[in-house]
Every structure is written in C-alpha cells, then in structure tokens.
A and B are shown apart, each in its own frame.
Chain A
C-alpha cells in the first residue's frame, strides 16, 4: 500500500530523449567490463552453518561462559550489602512521626534515628547509597525539565533558563537556578552513620562526599557561572532558589569545590535514573588501615534528617551499604545468566552432536537432487 505509492522512478510518460532509461545506458554498445565485481565473481569466503561447524562453537561458548558465570556469581556473593528502609510508613518505625509531618514548608527539620546491626564486617571501601522507589525520574516531563547550558555555567541561560524547565523556570519573576523539575526535587535528607561500641560509645563514621559523581560531569558538564574562584552568592544574584529547596544553590556546601552547580550530591541527582526504583551513591566510607575493617561487626545507628516526602506517591526510601568488587556491586543476575546460557549452549552442543551423527551421514550419502 505504501510502497505502491513510492517509487524513485519516473512514473510519467516523458520523452526519455536526454535522460535515458535508468539502468540501460551502460552496456549499450560496448562489451561490459570483465571485472570480478561486475560479473559477480568476487573472491569470497562462503561459510555454511551446519551442525558440524556450529558444534564446536557451542561447546566453546559453553566452556567459556560457565566459568565466567561461576566467577561472577562467587564474586557477587562475596560482596556484602546491607539495606534498611527508613521511610517510616509503619507505626513501629522510628521515623513514623517524621514521615507524617514532613512537608516542604516545615521550617524545623525532623530528625529520627534507626538502629541496626551488621552481622559481618565490611572490608575495604564501603559505599553508602540512598534508594528511592516508585519515583519516576524517567518520566518524560521530568527528564527533559532541565537546562544543560545553565548547568554548564552559561550566563545567559542563568538569567533566562530554557522553556523546558517549565513550570520550574521562574519564581517571583526571577529565574530559578538551577531550573527544572529534576533540580527542584533534589534529594535533601541527611544521613549520618554512628558506630556503637560494645561499651556504648557512639563514634561518627566519617563519610566522604567527594568523588561520588562522574569526573567528566563534575569538571566539564557542570560548571558554576563565572568561573571557579568568584564569590558564588554574587554570581547567583538575581536568581531564585528552586521552590522546594531550603537553601540556595550557592549554600549547598561550604567547600568551594563542592558548591553551586558542581556540588556532587546535586550532580548525582541530576543523572536521572533509568527505572522508577533506583539507588544513588550518597557517600563513600574509606578504608582506614589494613588491620581493621571499614565497618566492623556490631551495632550502628543511622541518624536521618528527614526532609524528603515520599509517601504522597507511595514511595520508599532506603539506605544501602555495600562493598564492591572488580565487577561492581552485588549482581547475582549476571553470574546466573552466564551459567545458564553456558549450560544451555553445552546441552545444545550435545544435542547437535547427536543430530550430526544421526543425520549428517544420511545427508552425505543422499542422492544429488535433480
């Protein structure tokens, strides 16, 4: 139906006097060239997929995939992960009150703390994540609601943000910096971790807040307007803070290297997640020395400054502690998938071997069909 209407050819009856018929002109009066290409006789490798040729491939794939899968699975299992939900949806949860009272215009931050126990010590660097679920960071309206040139330090975009930021573009006739829904909904809970010694003393665990964003994001894609060394509050003069923020963008951190648009928490948040349930890197707990584990076995408390409301959209908030390996975080799926595919290939290899033996001979002895 469609193709019938479509043709690059001339469909009208015009005199082909000068233009000539499309495919005909070449061999009009002279012998065609005897080139391998024109005669379709280019030298070529002509592989055929038969049981015989595919068999070894199946075995090889099986033999390679199964060990990889086992390796991945073991590595993944060695990764320690701890997850705790602090939404406070249950009455029993210490954060229940906070979750009920929290809203954007509450001036006094609500605090709550949750105690938990690590059964195993966490060796090496530990990564601390916050996780949100049922939060559609990948909604189209949300994803596009940002202005990359503003975030890149463009001065004109700072004063006149992109239309895509609507309805988070201006507030009180002043342009919002950073504009857009993503920036507006920046995750603003503060999480602190304390180790409870067996003797009862609380030790705050140092959390590193730098090095959690992509290097390129921090140094190239995100830039404060007006360079690095200026006073940020003057740079952002004439702009409004996002409506849901408690403080302005230049007050995010005292460290100049981590303030304004190049605040790493902000950068991490601005990388919109692919799925409605996601986790984002919050802090890194660096390994202290070779002797003691980063997080020894024992009791901990998580102190939360509860600002971020999620119950309105039936969301959940989690805090995750995890170590990593050469292949990243805990991920049994990849290892299992490799093992499964490897086994299937191996099994198919055996099946093909049987088929090859049974039918391969018959094929070879069959008559030439004429």
Chain B
C-alpha cells in the first residue's frame, strides 16, 4: 500500500495530473476516444517484465554480502574477525574467519543458486509468447513487452500473462471459465464475464474497432476485489458506462479452461499484477524457543563482556609491578612501549573479547537453522499424515516454528471443514411445516426421483402443493452452481446421473451442491444455465425455463443470497435463501413458527439449516430493483457499501417457504483428537460462523463438551434478559467458586473430580464485551471475560465474523500469561485467525487452499493435528531445547578453562588451545552429534506420546528452557570446566610432576609444555562434552552411534594427523607430536579417565535422583515402558474400540 501511495505521489508530481491519483484510465488498444471525451493522456506503466530475482550478475557479491552482514549475528562475527585482523590478538583471524567464511559462502551459494533459478524462471516467463491484436492482426510478442492497454488473445489452457479485463469470449454469452489453482489453490472452475456491450467483439477485426476506456483503481493486492468502469464509445459520442468487478478480471497466473479463446485488455502489468503484489512477505513469526535463545544470548554476551572486563582490569592491577609487566626475558617492542596506556587497555579488552568470543559460536545459528530446516522434513515425510483421498501429505510452509508445535496452550479451530468434513449431505427439507426426506442413497444408487419423497407428517394437500413446488423451484434457481459436463474436473463433483453420467455440479460452496442434488432426488433437476436462462427438469419430465435477471451474491455479512428470475409466464420472482437469523426478520408471512421449530430441532441435531423465502415482484418493482442495483454497481467508490445498502432494501418483505437441513459429518477421529488435546492440557476453542445450536451440537459430538460439562452461556438471548454486566459477573462468580473449592480440595489432597465448564459466546456479545464502553470499564469486562475463559475447558464462539476470529486470538495472545496459540482452519474466513495465531495450521479442505497457503503448516485432516502437536511438536521441542542448552553448555566448558588460564599466564591472553582446536571445536569435533541428536532424538516412543497426551503437559510453558534449567546447564558447564582445568593444573603443578616416562621406548622423562597442557584439557573437554550428550540420548540408532563414536574417533585421528607432520604452510609447529607424546604418558590416560568421570558424575547423579525422587510424568512412562508396554497397548486398543463405537 505504501508503495503504491508513493508511486502515486511521484507520478502526480511528474505528470501534473490530479485525476488519476486513485484511478487509472486504460485506453483499450491505445486508441484515443472520440473527440469530446476526456483528453487522451498517455500514461506510463511498467512493462510486463516479472522480476522475482534479487540480484544481477554484477551486484550479486556486494549486495549479497550486504544482506548477509545485515543480520546481527553475522555482523558480530565480522566485527570479531576484523578486530583480529587489525589488532594483535591471541588467536589467528582464521579461527573466526574460517567458520564465518564457511557460513557466508554456503548461504551465498544457496541464495545465488536460488536466484539463478529465479532468473531462469523469470526469463521463461518473460520470453514466453503472447498474442496481441495490433491493427486487426494477431501479432506474437514476448510477454515482457506487453503494455497496459494491449488487447490480448488467450487460448484455452493458456495462462494469463498479466491482469486482464475480459472483452469477449468464444462463448456466445460472454463467459469464460478459469481456474486459479496456481494463485489460491482452488482448483474449481470459476466463471468470469465479459461486459454485455463488448461481448460481441469476438474476432480480431471487430475487437480492433472497439473504442473504450477503462477506469479502474490502482493495483492492490486483494485477489478478490476489483472496482472499475468501462466507458464504451459506440456509434454515438455519448459513452456507455458499465461497472467492472472482480468477475471481469482475469488475474495473471490463472489459466483459461473450457473456453476456446478470449479477447481481453491488459490493465495491470508486470510487478503491478495482483499476483506479484501478493507475494509479499508475511510477517515473520518467532517461536518461544527463539525468544529464550535470544535471552540466553544476551546473558552470554554479558558474561563475555564481563569476563573480558575482569581480565583487563586484573591485568593492569597485576602489571602494576614493572618486573611483571616487562621482565628482562620478555621485552616489548619499541612501538608497544610507546602506545598510550588507554589504547593498550582497550586493545587488551578487545583481545580478551576475541579470546572468549567462542562462547557465542557461529555454528549455533547454523546448527539451529539446519535442525529446523532438515527437521521439518519429518513432517512432510510422515506417512500417517498422508491422506490417500487427497493424495497429499502435510506441508511445511515455514520451518521456523517447528518447536512451537510443542508449546501450544490454546487451540482455535474452525468448525466447518475443520472439525467437520465439509462434505454435505442433503437430509431433509421442511415446507410449511411438512418434512420431506429424500430416500437416501443405497449403495451409491439413487432411487428414482418421483418415489423419493417421503412425507412424514401428512400427505400434502393440493393447496400446499403449490408452495411445495415453489420451494423446490426456489432451491433449483437460487444458487450459483455450474453444471460441468466433463469428468476431468477437480474439486467438488457429483454425477447428475440421469442419462448423462458425465455431468457434475460444481460450486464453491458444498452446501449448494448438496441442495441442488437433494432437489434432484426430490424430482427437480437443475439442468443448465443457457443464454441467461436456467433450465429445470421438473417432476413431469418437462423443461421449465427461467430467465436469470439478477444474482445477489452470498456474503458472510448478509449470510444470504438471492436471485431474481422471470418465469416462463412472465412473472418476476425473488428467491432468497440464507441463515435463519438472516431470513426470519425479513419475513412477513408464512408458517414461521413451525419452520422455526423445525430449524431449531435440526440445529440441535447438528445439521446445517438454511431458510428459503421468496417474494413476487411486479414489473415496476423489478425496474426499481434494477435501477438500485445498477447504480450501486456502477459506483466506483464504496461500491461494496452501496451494494450492501441496495441488497438491504431489496431483500425484505419475504414470504417464508421452508427450510432445508444439510448434514456435515464430523471428520474422522475428530472427537478422539479433541479429547487428546484436552488431556494434553490445551484449551480448545471452536470459532465458527455457524449458529449456536448447530455449533453446540457439533461440540457435543466432537466431545468438546461432555455430558458432565456445565455450559455457561453468554449469548444475546441472555444479555437481552439481563445486562451484560450482570451476566458476566454471575458467570465469573460461578467459575471462581468452583476454582476456590478446587484449590481447597487439592490442598487437602482429595481427588480432583471437578466440574468442568464450557462457555458459549456469540459474536454480538463478544463485540459487546470487547467494545470499550463509555464509562471506561471495558477493561474490566475484558478481564472478567478472560477470567471466565481461563477456567473453562472448552469455549465455543459462534456467529463469528472472520475478523472476530482474529480478534479473539489476539485477545488471548495478549492476556497476561501470554499463552501460545494455534489457529486451525480450512477456509478463506480462517486466514486472519491463522495469521494471527502463533502457529497457523491450514487444512487442505474443500473450500480451496486459501488457508493452507497462508498457514505455517498445512495438514490434510483435522485428526492429523494430534500427531503434529503431540508427536512432532513434542519431539521438536525437546530436541531444540536440548540443542540450545547443550550448545551453551559446551561452549562454557570450552571457554571457561581459557578464562581460568589467564590467571596463570599473567593475563596475557595466551590461548589455552591450539588454533586448530579453537577453530574446529564447534565446527567438527562436537557439531555432528548434537545435530543428529536434535534430528532423531525420541525420549519416549511415538506411540506412547500419542497414547498418553498428558505427556505434553511436561513441556508446556517452555519448561525445558526456563531460567532454572538454563542456570543448571550453565553451572554444570562451569563446574566441568573447572574440573578440566584444575584437574590438569594439579598434574602440571610443580609440586607433582611435569613429565612422564616414555614407557614404550626408553625409560626417560619428557617435559610437557603449555601446548600439551592445552591438548590435555581439550581432550578431556571433547570427551566429556560428547559423553554428556551420549548420556542425554534416549534413542540410540546406528546414526547416533556412528556420529558420537565417530566424532571422538575423528578428534583422535585429526589430532594425530595434526601433530604428525611438520605442516609446510604454517609458520609455527607448536603441536608437533604433542598429542602423541601425551598419549604415550600413562598419567595422562589415567587423568583423562578420572576427569571425564568426575565431570559427568554430578549430571548422572542429578538425573538419577530426580528420576527417583521427583519423577515427571515422562520419566514415569520411560521407567515403566518395558513392563507395561503389552498391557497398555491392550488398554489402548479397547479404548479405541469403545470410542469408535461411541462415536
């Protein structure tokens, strides 16, 4: 938005034009309108080149480096590297330069490769030929040369090269079919319309004679919104203005289907197309683990700085004695002597920083990234989450949030299509209180239509016959279903199955398909829409034709749709169907009470109900309606609002006909999943647009509410009786009393058989609760509401608008515990919620892929939520938690001895370890075991995690990364480091020995120097740190064995090699034979064994004691796993069977 604003401003100043700040005028075929119209102002638009690549050949290196060093971590390491280059530091620049170089190079190669692919893709897209009409001829052009205003010919199965307005199509009625699968994933065919006045121009020559301008808004990213107007200059000078809406716009990326060709005019090109505008970054979500990791980093940065400061200060205190600063044996150079003391101190500080900088290793970021990236494959690889029917498994759109899946506290789920199948089945209809049930499907065979009516109450009287047929006709006419005559259609398809077995009904709404199909079974078959006439085959096998005059489309605010038709006898009808709440207030006559009773009955059964009403229009009334609609449609500004107003005026004074009931079955294992989520300590909220009774029934069916659950209602019905204030306070009193008694019980150790509560709230009440009231007490309402919610195990929010869903999520997210939320849904109406929640999960449902596209993870079915949270989420969390803690631990172990050594080398920044060890410690000696651990660790087996959802509570609230555990790990690191250092120190101390017997060869004693000291500490360090991980590993596959023992072996082999030869390219040979000499010493072996044992001892002891004295649930399970495995699986099987029976 900002971008287009900016561009508008710029273009305004450049051209000096005012009138197209918000609009653009497109001259079709670049032809001037006839004189007298507006002046022809050629406007400049970008060409149709798509540039998705970031870099060019020339700017790749500088730009990529700039991008990479903009990341703070990289920048930090660059600074360290530069400091090493500039000042005289203890370690060579290679130690930090090499890892940094590695990371930067790998990232650059990856990005470069991706960019190269993008270039290639861009080129193929930009160079692909398009057909443009110029001077009545078809000319081939490269796609990137396309200009706004060009008339384009698109043939069947071709993709639109830019955003186009349909002028005419090969079909007589000016329609064309389009699939937007690559844009929003919806594979169903959508119909787009040409403007009536232009649809006749369907040859090259004719189109070339068309003189028209299009005024439309400047490009904006909303795929489903478009407002514009076409001015057609026919013979006369007075232009004909026609409105253009999203039904006239063909978007780049969509594909033309079932239409031979179309002529269309380009309106948005290149980077201004809606597709290009839509691929803007989503806001980055950060996981709780990442937040704690950052907190830990800050702590470690403080530790680093304070270490460097302490050492610098101590150095200058110690050097106060001149004999120490520069003894005769260790002179300084002239330049060193002359340097100012402050500069020297600062240099020393930097040198200490460099010496200790490994405490924040580059490799941690690399490892975390790799763990997340590689780990996310396990989700998409999971066979259990693969849906045969859909042919798709789980999708990972971001791997940043893997571990957040293990932290979810609130689950916000949509109902339709998420909890339920969104696979509609027409169950019954009720006309004037009489209930009709189509004899249902037997083995897929539908019984002949005429005999399909089973009247429950009484046989229809002749007088009612008319209403009944009107009802059926209404349902046959009032919809937007298309008839598809091929089999190769994806999406919703049902055979019409009458002679022509290859016809299907297609619609974006499965309810409509179910209704039209239900009507067919009741004897009224909708055949097709032909030349604006809807054809119906009635019970007497006669074709009735109705002219379709207007369609008042469905929207989620009105919750109804209408059509205006003219029957064969010339009567105007307005048929309307919609939610009961949307219809009843607008009804003036009809058997309202009976129908209302039936609707409520059905809703309680969990059926989706719709009401049908109609009214007759006189021709005069119709004219008025027409006028209203046209003027609203022609409006360029606020068209939506004007249309809504017009609809409001038109859709009233109905005569109620009846109601329908459609069943939406629960998804497979939905109840089991919800139950597991509850046991895992998650609160499940259902947010639905459906009405309360239906939603509540679904909740009972899915065991969100149990029989024992006490339902608290916070609905408009209640708030009408009492004030909202009273209701809220009453509810909170009920809940709080409960909690207090619960507390008392838990204190006195009684069983926790407590009443659980379920809350039902509707959209209207919710907005009342959230609305800031005049006296400013809204805050307290919100608080009370949250307090009630917190004490309810399940909450049902019905009658929610899409934005309200997001509002609720936001409200919970912002509450004082800051819980982790998860939003799951399948439709476009859930997108806001999915984007708002910490983790957004999309279901690849029937209502298109909009949700899946915007989600972080997409799964085929609701039941997969159980596995993705309880198993994958749990694993990812414990894995990354260990990864983070272990990384800090191993670097404390690594650096702390170096810190201690400064006290024994005159604070001279002498590194304890050799350069190679400093460099390779994090890169190769200790990197693979933890990476592999963090990929394949399973502390308990998958089946147990699924069977025992309560284990999820053990890791809730980021418990493995809380400060207590972080401090434990840090202290363990400090302890281990002290053990390594002082253990070796006492061996080297003068009072004991500094040499050893060379047992194998001669019986002489060799002296050990400082590098042997370092190598010994380092060896103990590598072994301790690796074995510590081995102790933490609960799942030893051959890979673990391979990497753990392999990296120890690698360390030994490397050390032997590193010390084994005189390296020609190095100017020092300090490590020559140091490692071999060390290994030839008996005490060195003995001390390695001893110190490794001592370092590991406290951790083992802590583990064992905690397990024995204060075991967590997880530990209980682990301990008991073996003995109870058989028995438990039997119990599990039984409970499964019973639940499926109960279901």
Contact = CB atoms under 8 A, between A and B. Distances in A.
Nearest to A5: B72
A212 B1005 CA distance: 7
Interface string A345-363: 1001000100110011001
Nearest to A337: B1090
B330 A19 contact: no
A291 interface: no
A345 B1097 contact: yes
Contact of B1108 (A16, A274, A363): A363
Given A7-B369, A43-B1037, A312-B327, A141 B386 contact: no
B771 interface: no
A8 interface: yes
Interface residues of B, number: 157
Residue in A34, A133, A326, A344 with the greatest tally of chain B CB atoms within 10 Å: A326
Interface residues of A, number: 135
B554 interface: no
Contacts of A5: 70-75
Contacts of A366: 1116
A45 to B, nearest CB: 4
A221 B1062 contact: yes
B990 A278 contact: yes
A338 B386 contact: no
Interface in B379-396: 379-383, 386, 388, 391-396
Contacts of A327: 996-997, 1082-1083, 1086
Interface string A124-160: 0101000101011111111111111100100000000
Contact of A6 (B73, B276, B383, B1087): B73
B386 A137 contact: no
A32 B393 contact: yes
A278 B994 contact: yes
Nearest to A362: B1108
A276 B679 contact: no
Contacts of A331: 987, 992-993, 1083
Contact of B396 (A24, A29, A268): A24
Interface stretch (B112-120, B558-566, B1045-1053): B112-120
B1005 A127 contact: yes
Residue in B70, B284, B380, B1108 with the greatest tally of chain A CB atoms within 10 Å: B1108
- Looking at chain A's contact residues, the main secondary structure is loop
B330 A139 contact: yes
Interface in B57-87: 70-76
B1038 A324 contact: no
A39 B382 contact: yes
Nearest to B985: A275
A40 interface: yes
Contacts of B999: 326
Contacts of B1037: 42-44
Interface string A5-46: 111111111111111011110111111111000111111111
Contact of A46 (B1012, B1034, B1105): B1034
A195 B980 CA distance: 43
Contacts of A259: none
Interface string B935-951: 01010011000001010
Residue in A5, A17, A26, A345 with the greatest tally of chain B CB atoms within 10 Å: A17
Interface stretch (A112-120, A162-170, A233-241, A297-305): A162-170
Interface stretch (A48-56, A171-179, A248-256): A48-56
B908 A34 contact: no
Contacts of B121: 17-18
B341 interface: no
A49 B1100 contact: yes
B828 to A, nearest CB: 20
Nearest to B365: A6
B331 A167 contact: yes
Given A13-B281, A26-B377, A49-B1031, A274 B988 contact: yes
Given A3-B365, A162-B1067, A327-B1082, A211 B54 contact: no
A3 B294 contact: yes
A91 interface: no
A311 B1007 CA distance: 25
A49 B1107 contact: yes
Contacts of B279: 13-16
Nearest to B298: A1
Contacts of A181: 329-331
Nearest to B984: A274
B4 to A, nearest CB: 15
Nearest to A136: B906
B978 to A, nearest CB: 14
A140 B910 contact: yes
A110 interface: no
B569 interface: no
15 contacts: A1-B72, A15-B52, A23-B376, A26-B380, A32-B393, A42-B936, A47-B1036, A49-B1100, A65-B1090, A138-B1010, A139-B910, A141-B908, A145-B330, A326-B999, A355-B1108
Nearest 9 A/B pairs, CB to CB:
A18-B121, A5-B72, A185-B329, A329-B993, A274-B1013, A15-B52, A13-B281, A13-B280, A23-B396
Given A4-B290, A19-B117, A331-B993, 14 more contacts: A3-B290, A13-B280, A19-B114, A49-B1107, A133-B990, A135-B329, A167-B331, A181-B330, A213-B1006, A274-B988, A276-B906, A280-B1007, A313-B327, A341-B1094
